[in-house]
Amino acid sequence: MAISNSLVRRSVLATALFSVFSPAFADGATDLDSVVVTATRTAQTQDQTLSAVTVIDRADIERLQPASLADLLRGTPGMAIANNGGPGKATSAFLRGTEADHVLVLIDGIKIGSATLGQASLQDIPVEQIERIEIVRGPFSSLYGSEAIGGVIQIFTRRPEGAFVPSFSLGVGSYRDLAGSAGLAGKMGDGWYSLEASHDQTHGINACRVGAEEVGAACFADQPDKDGYRNTALTLQGGYRFSEQWDADARAFRSESHNWYDGNYSDSAQNATQVVGGRLHYRPSKDLTFTLSLGSSGDFSKDYLQGVYKDRFDTHRDVGSLQADIGLGGGLLSTGFDWMRDDVDSTTAYAVDSRINRGLFVQWQQTFGRQSLQASARRDDNSQFGGKNTGSLLWGWDFTQSLRLTASYGTAFKAPTFNELYYPYYGNPNLQPEKSQNLELGLRGSYGWGYWSLNAFRNKVTNLITYDAAIGAPGNVEDARIRGAEAVVSGHVASWLVTGTATWLDPRDESDVYHGNLLPRRAREMARVDVDRTFGDFSVGGSWFVSGRRYDDLANRHPLGGYAITDLRVAYALTRDLKVQLALNNAFGKNYETAWYYNQPGRNYMLTLRYQPAQ
C-alpha cells in the first residue's frame, strides 16, 4: 500500500511528549507505576491518576490474541460493542451507556473520525499496528473539547523497544482468513524509528440475516452471500532528541480497506483512515515545558452497488495545539490553546462544508499530603454553534497506603455532525450541542497479589439529537439519565493471572415520547473474565464474556437476547524469539446479535506464527 500524496503533503514535524511508553494492563495486576498521558494531557504514573483508566499494552494484545480491535475492547469496564455483521463491518463503541458518537478516539494524540457520521472507523484499525491503548472513562471535554461525554480512547501505534528490532507475523484461519504483518524499529544514538505494515483479508460471513427486507431491519435487503473484507495498513514514525531541552517526533498512519456487505443502495465500500502529525517539545527548565503539536486526520469513503460507483464522503481534519506545563508550589499548571478545522468533500452537496473550533483550556494538579486534586476548565468557540464552557473537578484521598477514595464532577458536550446539520433535505442548521453532567465516586486498592477497583457514576445527558417528526429533521429533543457501576479485580491465583470486570448500567431515555425506556444496544449487565498461565515454553488461556438483554431501538420493540461467548488460546515458544499461537474464538458456536438482524461469526480459529527478538 502506498501512502497517498495528500498524506505526504500534510506531513508535519513535531514533538515527543509521549516518547516511548510501555505501561502494563492498568486495571490489571501488574505495574501500577506505568506512565499514562490521556487522563490529564500530561505524563503521570498509573497510581497518580484520579480518573477511571484502563490501559492495554502490546504484551496484553499478544497474550489475548484478539481477532480485531472490537474484540480487544469488548468487556473492558463500561464498554459495549455493536457490530453490523462480522469482520470489517461498521462497529460502534458505547462507553458507560452514552451514545456511540460520545466517545473521543485519538491515534497518537490526534482526533480521528468522520465529521459527517460522527464516529471513528474502529473496524479499520488493525491490532498489529497498536502498541497500547488508554481508555479513560468519564467526561473529558474540559481537556479535549467535543465528543468526550462517555470518555476517551487513545490508540498508540508501535514503538521501538531496542536498538534494532525486526518482527513479523503470519496467520491463517476460518472463513479463509489470511493475516500478515512485518515491522522494523530501532534506536540510533539520540534518534528512533519505526515502520510497521500489515494486511488482513477474509471471505467473511453473511452480514445480514435473511428476512431483514421483509421486516424493514438492518440492511433492508435479503442477500445470502459471503461478505468479505480486506485491510492494508502502514505506520511510519521517528523522533530525535537534539539536546536536553529540545526533541521532536513525527508519524504517519494510513489504513485502507475494501468492505463487502448487504444493502439495497450500496453493497461495498472502499474506505481509508489516515493520521499524520508530530510534536516539538521544549523544556527550558525542570519546571517549564512547552509542547507544539500539529497534524491532520482523514476519513475517506467510496460506496458501490454491484461494482458501480455511487457516492463519496471524504472528511479532513487539521489540528494544532500549543500547551505549557508549569511547575508551581509543588503543583502542575497546564494551559494551552487547541485549533481544529473540519472540511467535507463529497459528491453530496452540503450547504456548509467547513467549520473551525478554537479551544482554550487550563488545568491544575496538586497533591496535599494524602489528598490529590485535579481541576480543569475550557472554553470552546465554534464557527457553527458559538461558545461552550466545560469544567471538571477530581479529588482523591489515600486514607491508607493501599486504598484510595476518589470523587469527581464534570461537564462535557458533543457538537452536531455535518449530516445532522447540513445533509440535504434532512439537516437542521439550528441544532445545539448535546451536553452532560457527570458525578462519580470510586474506591480502589493495590496489594502484593494484585489490584481491584469500584466506580459508581450518574450521568445526565441533555439536548440529545434525534429525528423530530414535528419539524421533519433532527432536533435537540431527547434527554437521558445513565446510572452505573464498574468493578475490576485482577491478580495471580495459584500461578494463574486472573482478571475480571463487571459493569452494571441503567441507561434510560428521559424524553417525553420514550420516557423510561432503555437506550438502544446497551446491556444492563456485562462481565468478562480472562485467565492465563505459562508452563515453561507453553501458555494457555481463555476469556469468557457475558452480556445481558438489550434493545435495538428507542421504542424497545426489537429485543436483542443476552449471550455468553468463550474464547480459548494456546501458544508455544519454538525458540526464544519465535512462537506459534492458536486462538479458538466463540468456542461453543454461540449464535448471537449485537445489532438487530446482523449476524456474528460462529466458532472460528486463527493460527499464527510470530517472530520478535526477545529484549
Tens-digit pLDDT profile for residues 516-562: 999 999 999 999 999 999 999 999 999 999 999 999 999 999 999 99
Q: Mapping DSSP to helix (H, G, I), strand (E, B) and coil, where does residue 10 land?
A: coil
Task: Look at residue 8 in the predicted model and tell me its pLDDT.
Answer: 34
- pLDDT over 70 for what percent of the chain? 94
List, in order of start, the domains of the chain with CATH numbers.
Answer: 5-163+241-611 (2.40.170.20)
Burial profile 530-567: b = 16 or more Cβ within 10 angstroms, e = fewer: bebeeeeeebebebbbbbbebbbebebeeebeebebbb
CB atoms within 10 A of CB 383: 13
The residue type found at 39 is: A
Task: Look at residue 23 in the predicted model and tell me its pLDDT.
Answer: 31
Q: Which range, of 243-247, 422-426, 511-515, averages the lowest pLDDT? A: 511-515
Task: Look at residue 216 in the predicted model and tell me its pLDDT.
Answer: 84
Q: Is residue 385 very low, low, confident or very high in pLDDT (cuts 50, 70, 90)? A: confident
Q: Is residue 163 very low, low, confident or very high in pLDDT (cuts 50, 70, 90)? A: confident
Round to whole Å and give the CA distance between 519 and 84: 18
Round to whole Å and give the CA distance between 52 and 451: 13
Which three cell numbers, joined as nine digits, stand for 572? 508455544
Mean pLDDT score, 568-586: 97
Q: Is residue 276 very low, low, confident or very high in pLDDT (cuts 50, 70, 90)? A: very high
Mean pLDDT score, 137-162: 94
- pLDDT over 90 for what percent of the chain? 86
**Residue 355 scores a pLDDT above 50:** yes
Q: Which range, of 114-118, 363-367, 447-451, 565-569, averages the lowest pLDDT? A: 447-451
What digits encode the pLDDT tens for the residues 306-337? 999 999 999 999 999 999 999 998 999 999 99
Round to whole Å and give the CA distance between 51 and 314: 35
Round to whole Å and give the CA distance between 86 and 226: 10
Burial profile 195-210: b = 16 or more Cβ within 10 angstroms, e = fewer: bbbbbbbbbbbbbbbe
The residue type found at 87 is: P
Closest CA relative to residue 264, chosen from 297, 310, 295, 228: 310
- How far are the Cα atoms of 99, 348, 368, 472, 547 from residue 310, in angstroms, in the given order? 29, 11, 61, 26, 37
What digits encode the pLDDT tens for the residues 468-488? 877 888 999 889 999 999 999
Cβ 356 vs Cβ 374: under 8 Å:
no
What digits encode the pLDDT tens for the residues 16-36? 333 322 333 334 333 444 789
Round to whole Å and give the CA distance between 613 and 61: 17
* 387 CA to centre of own chain: 27
Cβ 28 vs Cβ 290: under 8 Å:
no
Phi and psi dihedrals of 128, rounded to 5?
A: -65, -15
Round to whole Å and give the CA distance between 476 and 547: 30
Task: Look at residue 448 in the predicted model and tell me its pLDDT.
Answer: 85
Mean pLDDT score, 62-81: 96
Q: Is residue 37 very low, low, confident or very high in pLDDT (cuts 50, 70, 90)? A: very high
Round to whole Å and give the CA distance between 367 and 480: 35
Q: Is residue 54 very low, low, confident or very high in pLDDT (cuts 50, 70, 90)? A: very high
Phi and psi dihedrals of 60, rounded to 5?
A: -65, -45
* Number of helical H runs and strand E runs in the chain: 6, 33
What digits encode the pLDDT tens for the residues 189-203? 999 999 999 999 999
- Summary mean pLDDT of the chain: 92
Closest CA relative to residue 235, chosen from 220, 256, 214: 256
Cβ 318 vs Cβ 9: under 8 Å:
no
Length of the chain: 615
Q: Which residues contact 102 (CB under 8 A, 6 or more apart)?
A: 95, 147, 148, 149, 150, 414, 434, 436, 461
Containing 362, the helix (H) or strand (E) segment is strand 354-368
Instruction: Look at the block and give the residue holding cell 443476552.
Output: 562
Task: Look at residue 16 in the predicted model and tell me its pLDDT.
Answer: 31
Round to whole Å and give the CA distance between 318 and 251: 15
Instruction: Look at the block and give the residue holding cell 464522503.
Output: 313
